[in-house]
């Protein structure tokens, strides 16, 4: 007989919180009638400056089957939080989940770019990716490298040897769910191996916070630039040198502004 659910939740705090967040986002998406085109990531939208979609696409699920599959796999992969004795643990899990979200999104865009320009496959210009699968596949791969004797339990009855799980799941999802993003899953596996083999390493609280800060800045600025949402408190306008931006935060109601600008230093050259 297994442990009571409350104990498993306490042993996997980060995973439990993430599953709760994903489920809440799915419920909101269903309630508001939001579709792939609103939150998904595609080459075409990235070229238009919608970089915020790297984040929204990862955290959104449209199909309930997609959500259940990903959350079931994520729950099983939450064992990473309990493996602090081999260099993993909660901090490692959170740090590299952030890395997986960003790098797998960028890698899949790079794959689209290569296929479009090199092989003229225009299909990949508009194909839209959505879901946390790239990160799930990344963690399958990391665990396969770090703990090859583990097993991955899906849906409570399907158990796969973790060493083969990334590619078994890649084939399984491609057959069962033809709309699944093969390249998106593959990008997660590639980044997962890069992390597992130590090619990407050195993440700590400082670098994680710095990365998160840049993600927030780029997210907000790309939202503003793309015009997807009206962000009234942030305005970008040219100054004396049009290559240098000025950021102005507007306080609503009292008419006061805080104006921040950067001016060229005398004698300095921009190369």
Q: Is residue 250 part of a domain?
A: no
Judged against a pLDDT cut of 90, whether residue 57 lies above it is answered with: yes
Other CB atoms closer than 10 Å to residue 8's CB: what's the count? 14
Reading the block at residue 102, the tokens are: 């960003």
Q: To the nearest whole percent, how much of the chain has pLDDT over 90?
A: 60
CA separation for the pair 73, 139 (Å, rounded):
10
pTM of the complete model:
0.81
Q: Is residue 242 part of a domain?
A: no
Domain count, the chain: 1
Query: 3-state DSSP call for residue 214?
Result: helix
Judged against a pLDDT cut of 90, whether residue 218 lies above it is answered with: yes
Other CB atoms closer than 10 Å to residue 190's CB: what's the count? 19
- Of 50, 61, 95, 185, which one is the catalytic site residue? 185
Told to judge if 185 belongs to the known catalytic residues of this protein, a careful annotator would answer yes
Q: Is residue 67 part of a domain?
A: yes
Which are the contacts of 27, defined by CB distance < 8 A and separation ≥ 6?
none
Q: Is residue 271 part of a domain?
A: no
Q: List the Cα angle 75/90/132 in 5-degree steps.
A: 45
Domain of residue 55 covers 10-224
Pairing mode, if any, of strands 245-250 and 234-238?
antiparallel
**Looking at residue 161, what is its pLDDT?**
81
Reading the block at residue 24, the tokens are: 């809440």
**Looking at residue 236, what is its pLDDT?**
43
Whose tokens are 């199909």? That residue is 63
Told to judge if 133 belongs to the known catalytic residues of this protein, a careful annotator would answer yes
Alpha carbon dihedral 53, 56, 61, 66, in 10-degree steps, equals 70
**Looking at residue 112, what is its pLDDT?**
97
Judged against a pLDDT cut of 60, whether residue 111 lies above it is answered with: yes
Q: Is residue 74 part of a domain?
A: yes
Provide φ and ψ at 132, rounded to 5°.
Answer: -90, 10
Judged against a pLDDT cut of 90, whether residue 152 lies above it is answered with: no
**Looking at residue 230, what is its pLDDT?**
55
Q: Is residue 139 part of a domain?
A: yes
Q: Is residue 141 part of a domain?
A: yes
Judged against a pLDDT cut of 90, whether residue 154 lies above it is answered with: no
Q: Is residue 180 part of a domain?
A: yes
164 neighbors 152 (Cβ within 8 angstroms): no
Reading the block at residue 190, the tokens are: 């590639």
- Of 72, 133, 181, 187, which one is the catalytic site residue? 133
CATH number of the domain to which 41 belongs: 1.20.1540.10
Which are the contacts of 214, defined by CB distance < 8 A and separation ≥ 6?
none
**Looking at residue 258, what is its pLDDT?**
43
């Amino acid at each position: 007989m297994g442990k009571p659910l409350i104990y498993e939740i306490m042993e996997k705090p980060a995973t439990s919180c993430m599953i709760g967040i994903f489920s809440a986002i799915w419920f909101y998406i269903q309630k508001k009638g939001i579709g792939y085109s609103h939150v998904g990531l595609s080459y075409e939208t990235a070229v238009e400056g919608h970089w915020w979609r790297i984040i929204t696409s990862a955290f959104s699920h449209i199909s309930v089957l997609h959500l259940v599959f990903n959350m079931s796999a994520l729950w099983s992969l939450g064992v990473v939080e309990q493996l602090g004795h081999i260099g993993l643990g909660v901090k490692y899990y959170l740090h590299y989940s952030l890395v997986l979200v960003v790098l797998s999104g960028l890698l899949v865009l790079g794959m689209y770019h290569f296929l479009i320009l090199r092989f003229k496959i225009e299909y990949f210009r508009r194909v839209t990716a959505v879901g946390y699968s790239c990160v799930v596949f990344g963690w399958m791969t990391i665990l396969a490298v770090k703990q090859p004797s583990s097993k991955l339990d899906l849906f409570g009855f399907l158990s796969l040897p973790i060493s083969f799980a990334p590619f078994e799941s890649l084939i399984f999802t491609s057959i069962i769910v033809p709309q699944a993003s093969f390249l998106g899953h593959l990008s997660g596996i590639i980044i997962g191996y890069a992390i597992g083999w130590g090619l990407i390493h050195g993440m700590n609280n400082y670098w994680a916070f710095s990365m998160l800060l840049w993600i927030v800045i780029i997210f907000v600025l790309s939202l503003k630039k793309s015009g997807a949402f009206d962000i009234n408190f942030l305005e970008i306008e040219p100054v004396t040198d049009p290559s240098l931006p000025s950021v102005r935060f507007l306080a609503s109601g009292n008419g006061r502004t805080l104006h921040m600008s950067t001016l060229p230093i005398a004698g300095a050259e921009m190369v």
